[in-house]
A and B are shown apart, each in its own frame.
Chain A
Amino acid sequence: MSDLTHLTISQARAKLRAKEITATEITEAYLSAIERANPALNAYVVVTDEKARDMAKASDAKLAKGEGGSLEGIPLGIKDLFGTEGIHTQACSHVLDGFKPHYESTVTANLWADGAVMLGKLNMDEFAMGSSNETSYYGPVVNPWRRSRVDTVVMPTTHQGDGGFVSAGGARTARTLDNAQLVPGGSSGGSASAVSALLCAGATATDTGGSIRQPAAFTGTVGIKPTYGRCSRWGIVAFASSLDQAGPIARDVRDAAILLKSMASVDPKDTTSVDRPVPDYEAAIGKPIKGMKVGIPREYRVDGMPEEIEALWQKGIAWLRDAGAEIVDISLPHTKYALPAYYIVAPAEASSNLARYDGVRYGLRVPGKDIVDMYEKTRAAGFGREVKRRIMIGTYVLSAGYYDAYYLQAQKVRNLIKRDFENAFAAGVDVILTPATPSAAFGIADEDMAADPVKMYLNDIFTVTVNMAGLPGIAVPAGLDAKGLPLGLQLIGRPFDEETLFQTAHVIEQAAGTFQPEKWW
């Protein structure tokens, strides 16, 4: 039954509706795949098998009557940042030990209302702070992709008996997988790893500076961060409220469109939820892009970028041009300031949001000699290094005397970054094409990144601009590097024009194909 895990959401949806398969069968197939793979990949921190079986049974009852929602019976993984009623919700932090909310996030409630089945909670960087999924209290997630080496094997001419040739000799090539474990990217590393390894049909994720798109690029999956305000943030553990957005990670562009349609909504419980109806994103797929204006920002050609990334970008440009798009060079002059401005704005908001973890209302409490001692000990024990580092930076830049120099300056620069994009769109550009990441997946416990936090932050150099400007961005796999690792391209759109992103990403997908890791786990 394990082949059911190979179905995309759109394929599974058709088979479920045609009663060729049941929600229970496909759910069981995923549960056994998780059981076999999770010890090696660590993508799930909790598997909700009983709940999954109950939800599948309820879906089967609806499907039998020809009823059910757009995701009826489709098994999904949920990032641990989403509040799920009565179920482990800890943002993969020690400080939220034992937390089980008495509410459901709007995004997950939307998915369940459409009939989706919950398989479990997915691993992530602690409080979504990280680009490698190594800051999780539950340990790193492993990328199902491994580097490979191409060897040429010479086949000697062999004889058998008196002059009878068996092999005429020659050469063939063979790929050998390297054993080194790679990161799946972060912070939605569990989501990306689980989707890539077929441990769920699709997954929820969140993106504050690149946390959907960078892991999608590292695992050969599709990830979209919609426009700020498109998905409700209600019930999602807050990191940086002016930047956080939820979105899906999926196996292909169509599945991402199906998932986003369900996740997005207008929500009175989130004051930043925008009052616009959610379009049928799937309908945009397959529409021709003839005449579309695609902007290529020169500032995204950064020093030290591997040639393979540049080549991939050129390939993407050629594919879109071949499909009839007009390619134009554009300039986004403040690009280089997006990452430094982000590392003021995001920590500042985080230091404020994370003030609530004090050992009083939920989670961990470490006793102290008085209440302040209790707060300080609880937070010292409960937060990991990266989270503490960001709280400290945020506290410093907001402290008396530094607010104007840092926070106010960063928020001004943020307006300039947004203005760059507005100018490009005003000049007629419909969509912007860039690389998704400056490199392919790197090794777990990379020494350079561990020694210098800024090196790790540079992973988000191409994605963070999009959060700063509130725009939608999608990462779509576009090829493999020489070591056989997936690389992705990013498309950036106008506010609330996710449809153009799906439409254009699908053209890239048609040209590039989809990518599956070789199974070693």
Chain B
Amino acid sequence: MSVDLQTVKRVARLARIAVSEEDAERMTGELNAILGFVEQLNEVDVSGVEPMTSVIPMEMKKRQDVVTDGGKAADIVANAPATEENFFLVPKVVE
């Protein structure tokens, strides 16, 4: 499988990365080189093989459903580019 310029632009949109026409053209070549490389996986017979879900067999760890952390809103917003009263500020999303 290979990708064309339109697909690259669509994927960039999905990934939320702005790309120029020039970027998209360069990426088309690069992505096709990588997709060409991974193509060989199709020759592997995987009938009856489960997809891996955990590399080390282990039981999912569980813990009591209680509050163990919190009360640190100021810490959480401390690194944000724009905040107001412990809220993250973003451009207007609803009219």
Interface residues of A (CB under 8 A from B): 98-102, 227-229, 242, 268, 271-272, 274-275, 334, 336-337, 339-341, 343-344, 351, 355, 358-365, 367-377, 379-380, 383, 388-389, 391-393, 395-396, 399, 402, 405-406, 408-416, 418, 452-454, 457, 468-470, 495
- B91 and A470 contact, CB distance less than 8 A: no
- B31 and A102 contact, CB distance less than 8 A: no
Answer whether residue B56 sits at the interface, using C-beta atoms and an 8 A cutoff. Answer: yes
Which of chain A's residues have a CB closer than 8 A to the CB of B52?
A: 242, 411-412, 414-415, 418
Number of interface residues of B (CB under 8 A): 53
Answer whether residue B38 sits at the interface, using C-beta atoms and an 8 A cutoff. Answer: yes
- B46 and A409 contact, CB distance less than 8 A: yes
Closest 5 CB pairs of A and B: A470-B55, A411-B51, A365-B81, A362-B79, A376-B18
Rounded to whole Å, the gap between the CB of B43 and the closest CB of chain A is 9
Rounded to whole Å, the gap between the CB of B84 and the closest CB of chain A is 13
- B38 and A340 contact, CB distance less than 8 A: yes
* CA A412 to CA B42, docked complex, whole Å: 11
Within 8 Å by CB of B56, from A274, A365, A374, lies A274
Interface residues of B (CB under 8 A from A): 1, 3, 7-8, 11-19, 27, 30-31, 33-35, 37-42, 44, 46, 49-56, 58, 60-61, 63, 72, 75-82, 88, 90-93
Within 8 Å by CB of B34, from A98, A227, A362, A393, lies A393
Within 8 Å by CB of B14, from A99, A275, A399, lies A399
Q: Given contacts A340-B41, A363-B79, A392-B11, are A412 and B50 in contact (CB under 8 A)?
A: yes
* CA A454 to CA B31, docked complex, whole Å: 10
Which single residue of chain B is at the shortest CB-CB distance from A386?
Answer: B30
Rounded to whole Å, the gap between the CB of B40 and the closest CB of chain A is 6
Within 8 Å by CB of A379, from B16, B44, B55, B91, lies B16
Which single residue of chain B is at the shortest CB-CB distance from A100?
Answer: B79
Which of chain B's residues have a CB closer than 8 A to the CB of A380?
A: 17-19
- B41 and A410 contact, CB distance less than 8 A: yes
Which single residue of chain A is at the shortest CB-CB distance from B55?
Answer: A470
Rounded to whole Å, the gap between the CB of A428 and the closest CB of chain B is 21
Which of chain B's residues have a CB closer than 8 A to the CB of A396?
A: 3, 7, 11, 31, 35
Within 8 Å by CB of A375, from B16, B27, B61, lies B16
* CA A416 to CA B51, docked complex, whole Å: 9
- B58 and A362 contact, CB distance less than 8 A: no
Which of chain B's residues have a CB closer than 8 A to the CB of A360?
A: 80-81, 88, 90
Which single residue of chain A is at the shortest CB-CB distance from B78?
Answer: A102
- A228 and B11 contact, CB distance less than 8 A: no
What are 30 A-to-B residue pairs whose CB atoms are below 8 Å?
Answer: A102-B72, A102-B75, A102-B76, A102-B79, A242-B54, A344-B38, A360-B81, A361-B77, A362-B79, A362-B80, A369-B91, A370-B91, A371-B90, A388-B27, A389-B27, A392-B8, A392-B17, A392-B27, A395-B15, A396-B3, A409-B44, A410-B41, A411-B52, A412-B46, A412-B51, A412-B52, A415-B52, A454-B37, A469-B55, A470-B56
Which single residue of chain B is at the shortest CB-CB distance from A382?
Answer: B17
* CA A399 to CA B33, docked complex, whole Å: 19
- B44 and A454 contact, CB distance less than 8 A: no
Which of chain B's residues have a CB closer than 8 A to the CB of A418?
A: 52, 55
Interface hub of B7, B15, B88, B93 (most chain A Cβ within 10 A): B15
